[in-house]
Chains A and B, each alone.
Chain A
Amino acid sequence: MVWRLLDVEWPDKPYYNMAVEEAVARAVGEGLSPNALRFWRNDNTIVIGRYQCVSLEVLLPNCLEHGVKVVRRFTGGGAVYHDLENLNYAISFKRPSPIPSDDVSLGFRKVGEAIVLGLGMLGIKAEFVPVNDVQVGGKKISGMAGMLAKNLLFIHGCLLVGSNIEVLSKVLNVPKEKLEAKGAKEVRARVTTVIEEAKRQVSMDEIKLALLRGFEKVFQENFSPGKLTEWEEAEAERLYREKYTTLDWNLGPCTACPGRDKDAEILNLIASRG
């Protein structure tokens, strides 16, 4: 089966965007759809990792103040800030995948290589840094997350194109242990963007094309532009309704946190605005 290229996004509906992300992955895992590469964006949204405590990782009152939405994704990894100047990529492989042993860390490496190649075509010298980062001169430009299920290997990530790093540092509560270990005191000191590194305006279409070429080269596959199948649309609707718009899902696992009730209220307020 030819691999699919999906350029489908709902930037103002981050809960639906995430539902589509999971629906496509499920369809590929079930063998209902071919392997797929998706490009998409969210506007002004924090996407929190599957296992993270929203109260500890996100400065929720600041999200409310800046109109930032918060949605939990289905993969592990850390919280990220998305805006329209941030391009997400996601690749779903039916197992057995082209990644040796279906190993997620090798998956990060291979997808990282594709991103590095793509950035190289834009004149940016980047490198993959384990576990799941792509960096330029020691600064993170892209981070990845992934998961392994019975029939599915899934990797997705976001590329900072010209993202509003000022907002990012106001809404994410990065642990001081992490910043100290990375040798930087503030979020903005350890991340960079495509526009900053290319030193010119680069259009989203140009970036998507460069990344696509990177994926084609690394995986030795051609991608055919496609759209969501009826099954994927129905599954996305279900996941949107039953999972991604629910307080239980977005508030997450940390029932021990003392501020949980207050944070639930804030999350409800945030959701009601979008």
Chain B
Amino acid sequence: MDFYRHAVQRSSEGKTVRVCVVVSNGKIVNVIFTGDFFAEPPELIHKLGESLKGLSLQDLEEAGRRIENFFKNEEIWLMGASPEDFKIALTKVVQQSSKTD
């Protein structure tokens, strides 16, 4: 079964990180991070979402590890939000899913 979830995380610097997730048969098939943060180069934000595809929605530990590693390994300039905000946004989606499923 496919479903779509969306969550918002507000960073300590006052910016928002939104995440939209499409899940099919318990697996993440599409993840898009959007928001009013600043980042360069732009394509890496898309790549971050790509790196989470195929994961089980409940596997937050692995998702968190991938997000951390992504920001550690890529030469990305990020302002207004932190890698932690991206992790929290995803966590909120999972919490939302457990409440409604």
> A residues bordering B, Cβ < 8 Å?
49-53, 56, 75-79, 104-105, 130-132, 145-149, 175, 177-178, 181, 252-258
Contacts and interface: CB of A to CB of B under 8 A. Distances in A.
Contact of B10 (A51, A53, A149, A177): A177
Given A51-B45, A256-B20, A181 B14 contact: yes
B22 A104 contact: no
A178 B16 contact: yes
Given A149-B40, A255-B32, 16 more contacts: A49-B36, A51-B45, A53-B32, A53-B34, A77-B38, A78-B15, A131-B13, A131-B14, A131-B80, A132-B80, A147-B40, A175-B10, A175-B18, A253-B46, A254-B20, A256-B22
Interface in B1-59: 4, 6, 8, 10, 13-16, 18, 20-22, 30-40, 42, 45-46
Interface residues of B, number: 29
B58 to A, nearest CB: 18
A76 B33 CA distance: 13
Contact of B30 (A104, A181, A255): A255
A105 B20 contact: no
A109 to B, nearest CB: 13
A106 to B, nearest CB: 11
Contact of A254 (B8, B34, B37): B34
A147 B34 contact: no
B18 to A, nearest CB: 6
A137 B39 CA distance: 30
Given A105-B79, A258-B4, A76 B37 contact: yes
